[in-house]
């Protein structure tokens, strides 16, 4: 997906101007704008890939995230406790898959494009999933040093964006709901519908919930690191085509 298509109908000069102004803003899009990037079947395949030595999913419980894994498995360094995950899903807890920039060839191509547009930047994909209406979410928090693009793929999410008091210690990145009145001031409240995209600058306090039903969201953090790193090689390997080529 070309970056111009990603941010349409906004043009690149206007987009960069808003970024330089440190503005949080939403680009409204058609309902199925991002639906080609990933399917429920592709997510299910990754979630159930017990051969994956990377931990493929975390659960968002009581305002934070945590692993639901067994590290005492003979043949694998880590294995999901899937029965417990199913229970947590039924108790309305959301799910997170990090490091998903290669989850589909379409997503991989999009992330490569973003890294080309923002010269020197490295990007990733965090996949957020809420399978039940009104599922759990993080406490109000800020992410840094990364900029954030957020694509609403399926369903909708309700957002609150805050400014913060000078009394809040710079090291604190998350504020519990009962302490919001003390440290945070709500500046914006809006709903992202399927096909909408959000840009959010680094260190912006925010809180997200899915009050209207299940949702799938792609969160794309990106920034230019202080020291050089190699580019991730997201080349797609067409295993089936090569195997069946009979060459």
For range 231-237, the mean pLDDT? 96
For residue 247, what pLDDT band results from cuts at 50, 70 and 90? low
Handedness of CA 202, 204, 205, 210 (dihedral sign): negative
Q: What is the pLDDT of residue 246?
A: 78
Dig out the tokens for 224 from the structure. 């230019």
Predicted confidence (pLDDT) at residue 82 exceeds the cutoff of 90: yes
Percent of the chain exceeding pLDDT 90 equals: 91
For 115-135, write each residue's pLDDT tens digit: 999 999 999 999 999 999 999
Predicted confidence (pLDDT) at residue 50 exceeds the cutoff of 90: no
For 167-209, write each residue's pLDDT tens digit: 899 999 999 999 999 999 999 999 999 999 999 999 999 999 9
Number of domains in the chain: 1
* Average pLDDT of the chain, as a whole number: 94
Dig out the tokens for 139 from the structure. 């406490």
**CATH number (domain holding residue 40):** 2.60.120.650
Predicted confidence (pLDDT) at residue 55 exceeds the cutoff of 90: no
Q: How far apart are the first and last CA of the chain?
A: 32
For residue 77, what pLDDT band results from cuts at 50, 70 and 90? confident
| Residue range(s) defining the domain that contains residue 230 | 3-244
Q: What is the pLDDT of residue 75?
A: 87
For residue 89, what pLDDT band results from cuts at 50, 70 and 90? very high
For 1-48, write each residue's pLDDT tens digit: 899 999 999 999 999 999 999 999 999 999 999 999 999 999 999 998
Predicted confidence (pLDDT) at residue 52 exceeds the cutoff of 90: no
């Amino acid at each position: 997906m070309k970056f111009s298509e990603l941010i349409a109908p906004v043009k690149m000069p206007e987009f960069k101007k808003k970024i330089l102004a440190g503005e949080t803003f939403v680009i409204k899009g058609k309902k199925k704008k991002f639906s080609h990037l990933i399917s429920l079947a592709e997510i299910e395949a990754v979630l159930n890939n017990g051969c994956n030595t990377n931990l493929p999913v975390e659960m968002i419980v009581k305002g934070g995230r945590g692993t639901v894994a067994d590290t005492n498995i003979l043949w694998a360094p880590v294995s999901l406790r899937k029965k417990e995950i199913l229970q947590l899903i039924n108790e309305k807890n959301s799910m997170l898959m990090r490091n998903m920039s290669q989850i589909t060839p379409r997503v991989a191509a999009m992330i490569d494009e973003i890294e080309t547009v923002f010269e020197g930047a490295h990007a990733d994909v965090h996949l957020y999933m809420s399978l039940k209406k009104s599922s759990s979410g993080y406490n109000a928090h800020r992410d840094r040093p990364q900029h954030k693009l957020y694509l609403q793929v399926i369903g909708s999410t309700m957002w609150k964006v805050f400014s913060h008091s000078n009394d809040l210690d710079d090291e604190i990145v998350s504020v519990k709901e009962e302490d919001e009145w003390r440290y945070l001031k709500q500046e914006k409240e809006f709903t992202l519908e399927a096909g909408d995209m959000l840009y959010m600058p680094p260190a912006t306090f925010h809180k997200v919930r899915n009050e209207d039903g299940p949702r799938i969201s792609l969160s794309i953090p990106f920034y230019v690191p202080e020291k050089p790193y190699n580019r991730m090689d997201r080349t797609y390997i067409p295993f089936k085509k090569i195997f069946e080529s009979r060459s």
